[in-house]
Amino acid sequence: MDNLINNLGILVYATLLYTAPLLYAAMGSCFSEVSGVVNIGIEGMMTMGAFTGAAVAYFTGNPWLGFLCAGLSGMAFALLHGVATVKFGADQTISGTAINFLAPGVAIVTAKAIFNSSDTIPLEPTSKMPILFSGVFSSGTPWSNFMKNVFSTYASTYLVFVVLVVVWFVFYKTRFGLRMRACGEHPMACQSLGIDVHRTRMICVCLSGFLAGLGGACMTMATSNQFRPTSIVGQGFIAIAAVIFGKFRPQGAMIGCLLFGLCSGLRVVIGSSSLNISVQLLSMIPYVVTVIVLIFFVGKSHVPAANGKPFVKAK
């Protein structure tokens, strides 16, 4: 029984830890997709955010500054995507694919130039995101160990749920959210009402990059303690799958991210148990679930009517 409680605490902790990066990126994807711009460059923006956050935190020792700079670096690449797709009407899928190639390349070349290594940027414990409630819960009994495992997590994990509430409020309780959703459904009608569709979409794409950058930083500054070229591999696409699963709504994307986070948590718990299961098989769990989700839910999601379609202003 004690072992079950301990494993349950580890599972909850690992689920939240792996959910946070996905949820930041998924909320960013929601902004872009709902406004009518397909952004599969989330993966590249997360990679750039992961590198920038780790590098800034390494040199300054300030994790919050690194976290902010990570979001700004993701926004910079989102701006490139927005200029190409919103302003010049480039194919959104091709532009996003280009971002996924460009951003990791820039990160690796910059790491090589600054650190003389493209492999790893290690972080000191003081440069990582702070752990809230550290030392509040003592260990000893099974339930105290459970509480310690559940609540002694990083600040970025708690922050992501605060951001989720803010994003939900922006989506459904503000004028900007109403215009954003309208631009994704009927951009011509929006223009006839005097709404600047291009500006609205550009803002949403930039917000998607900012949040994706935060997700990347969350991965290197909380989930792990270093940046590696493979830190983000697949995470951006899993976040997009969570958005599809959640029907392009922030609250739905949260459920999808929790599902994928749970899969990663199960991988940790099973991997640390006495069960003799291949590490490679355990690592496949989140990606297998992603494929299953896409098979069963992609056809049931309500995709915004104008999503992926360049908008040309009527004269």
> pLDDT at residue 155 above 70?
yes
Per-residue pLDDT averaged across 82-93, rounded? 94
Report yes or no on 307 lying in a domain.
no
Give the pLDDT confidence of 107-139 residue by residue, as tens digits.
988 888 888 766 677 787 778 888 877 666 666
- pLDDT for 100 equals 95
Report yes or no on 43 lying in a domain.
yes
Report yes or no on 310 lying in a domain.
no
Report yes or no on 176 lying in a domain.
yes
> Which domain, by its residues, includes 160?
2-297
Report yes or no on 244 lying in a domain.
yes
Range of lowest pLDDT (116-120, 180-184, 306-310): 116-120
- pLDDT for 136 equals 66
Report yes or no on 212 lying in a domain.
yes
Counting the structural domains of the chain, the total is: 1
Q: For the chain, how far is it from start to end, CA to CA, in angstroms?
A: 71
Beta bridge partners of 227: 121
Structure tokens at 66: 């690194």
Range of lowest pLDDT (45-54, 105-114, 153-162, 266-275): 266-275
State how far the Cα of 239 lies from the Cα of 248, in Å rounded to an integer: 11
**154 phi and psi angles, rounded to 5 deg:** -80, 155
Instruction: Give the whole-number percent of the chain exceeding pLDDT 70.
Output: 90
- The mean pLDDT of the chain is 87
Per-residue pLDDT averaged across 127-155, rounded? 75
Q: How confident is the model at residue 212 (pLDDT cuts 50, 70, 90)?
A: very high
Q: What is the CATH number of the domain that holds 278?
A: 1.10.3470
Q: Across the chain, which distance is largest between two alpha carbons, in Å?
A: 72
Answer with the residue of higher pLDDT: 160 or 282: 160
Give me the sign of the Cα torsion angle 63, 39, 312, 175. Answer: negative
Give the pLDDT confidence of 219-265 residue by residue, as tens digits.
999 888 788 878 888 899 999 999 998 889 999 999 999 998 988 88
- pLDDT for 118 equals 60
Q: How confident is the model at residue 151 (pLDDT cuts 50, 70, 90)?
A: confident
Report yes or no on 19 lying in a domain.
yes
Q: How confident is the model at residue 275 (pLDDT cuts 50, 70, 90)?
A: low
Answer with the residue of higher pLDDT: 186 or 125: 186
State how far the Cα of 136 lies from the Cα of 251, in Å rounded to an integer: 30
User: Taking the model in full, what pTM does it have?
Assistant: 0.92
Report yes or no on 315 lying in a domain.
no
Structure tokens at 233: 């591999």
DSSP string of the chain? -HHHHHHHHHHHHHHHHHHHHHHHHHHHHHHHHHHT---TTHHHHHHHHHHHHHHHHHHH--HHHHHHHHHHHHHHHHHHHHIIIIIS---HHHHHHHHHHHHHHHHHHHHHHHHS-SS-EE--GGGSPPBTTTTTSPPSSHHHHHHHHHHS-BHHHHHHHHHHHHHHHHHHHSHHHHHHHHHHH-HHHHHHTT--HHHHHHHHHHHHHHHHHHHHHHIIIIISSEE-TTTTTTHHHHHHHHHHHTTT-HHHHHHHHHHHHHHHHHHHHHHTSS----HHHHHTHHHHHHHHHHHHHTTTS---TTTT-------
State how far the Cα of 117 lies from the Cα of 294, in Å rounded to an integer: 37
Give helix 42-60 / helix 63-82 axis angle, nearest 10°.
150
State how far the Cα of 51 lies from the Cα of 112, in Å rounded to an integer: 12
> pLDDT at residue 81 above 90?
yes
